[in-house]
Amino acid sequence: MAKDKVVLAYSGGLDTTAIIPWLKENYNYDVVCCCVDCGQGEELDGLEERAKMSGASKLYIEDITDEFAEDYIVPCVMADAVYENKYLLGTSMARPGIAKKLVEIARKENAVAICHGATGKGNDQIRFELGIKALAPDIKIIAPWRDDKWNMQSRQDEIDYAKAHGIHLPFSVDQSYSRDRNLWHISHEGLELEDPSCEPDYKHLLVLTTPPEEAPNEPEYVTMTFEAGVPTSVNGNKMKPADIIRELNRLGGKHGIGIIDIVENRVVGMKSRGVYETPGGTILMEAHRQLEELCLDRDTLAVKKDLGNRLAQVVYEGKWFTPLCDALQAFVKSTQKYVTGEVKFKLYKGNIIRAGETSPYSLYNESLASFTTGDLYDHHDAEGFITLFGLPLKVRAMKMMEVEEKKNAK
């Protein structure tokens, strides 16, 4: 009789590799591994051999890089969705795409369960599980770090467990940063970052980005184009969004762009400190903002900023597949119809310096903005406007004077 199958979200790291024999021993499942490629690069090398050596019956490596860029990153760029004014949602945006692919493979394999290796302290357990529940409420979810059968508490425990099951892995107990990498960013946690009083050891830590003080001494000009809010080219070269992000990562990394050190509020209630490298994403977000300032009216931009912050929270909390997320994205998309044009900026030692922008839908009117009186604006009109605009303040001040006079008359 065939065993039930479980699909394991597999990264190839020590945790998920040790989970393979653990699932077989504790649940008697046939383990099907699924590694979802969101742009991790060389981290995927050698995964199939490692997974099968550890007892998996099959490994899927599913490339969703273009989908990640177009269906998750671009909508968040359009919304200017930034969590707590700093975090550009690199890990958060990837998780719903991974959950969607895990469900797809589970359906294909007729699996009864999906397993992930996220810990019980982090945000990822929430993001994975909310995504799975929204797309496949009938599929069981296994989270070993919250399972009573899981008794491994350290890297050494996991290495020893694997060895006891005849699996010899190329991992050591040496302390290193905990990292998550994809097309958009790389995050770093652990070591000296666990103490907020410590300065990050950037020479040891950085992967994508040159420290700003070591960046070139000459600035580099970059031009980008957008059509309806979607990036379409860099320096005159038309590219799909994923390739634009790759090119901006190269340029931003060279010039020390997008290094963020943040103490953030996790969904589970604790604060955590991490360093994020998002060179291309930081440039892309700033370029989009630069063009929006030219094309969106004041009221729309103000509401969009509020809803962009709301979307950032929704995405951070793993609520991508919800009616609220759909509604927020629909509003944002409606604002992007005329966000079309070209932006120019220069990169210099960690800075993105504005160097001009143009759009056929620009709301900037030089004759209105200049100090010269034009046909559309008469300086005398401001007097009546200020009288009406300031009427509530004046009425209140008059009332307060009246009250004060009555008190002094007693």
178 counts as catalytic: yes
Is the CA virtual torsion 189, 83, 134, 95 positive or negative?
A: negative
50 counts as catalytic: no
30 counts as catalytic: no
**One of 124, 127, 181, 273 is an active-site residue; which one?**
124
Q: What are phi and psi of 213, to 5 degrees?
A: -70, -15
**One of 57, 71, 178, 246 is an active-site residue; which one?**
178
Give the C-alpha separation, 284 to 82, whole Å. Answer: 13
For residue 283, the number of C-alpha atoms closer than 13 Å in the C-beta half-sphere is 35
Give the C-alpha separation, 339 to 294, whole Å. Answer: 8
180 counts as catalytic: no
SS3 at position 317: coil
SS3 at position 87: strand
DSSP state of 102: H
Q: Left if phi > 0, otherwise alpha if psi is -120 to 50, otherwise beta: which for 153?
A: alpha
Q: Left if phi > 0, otherwise alpha if psi is -120 to 50, otherwise beta: which for 352?
A: beta
Secondary structure of 186-250 as H, E, C letters: EEEECHHHHCCCCCCCHHHHCCCCCCHHHCCCCCEEEEEEEECCEEEEECCEECCHHHHHHHHHH
**One of 11, 15, 37, 273 is an active-site residue; which one?**
15
Q: Which residues are catalytic?
A: 15, 95, 124, 178
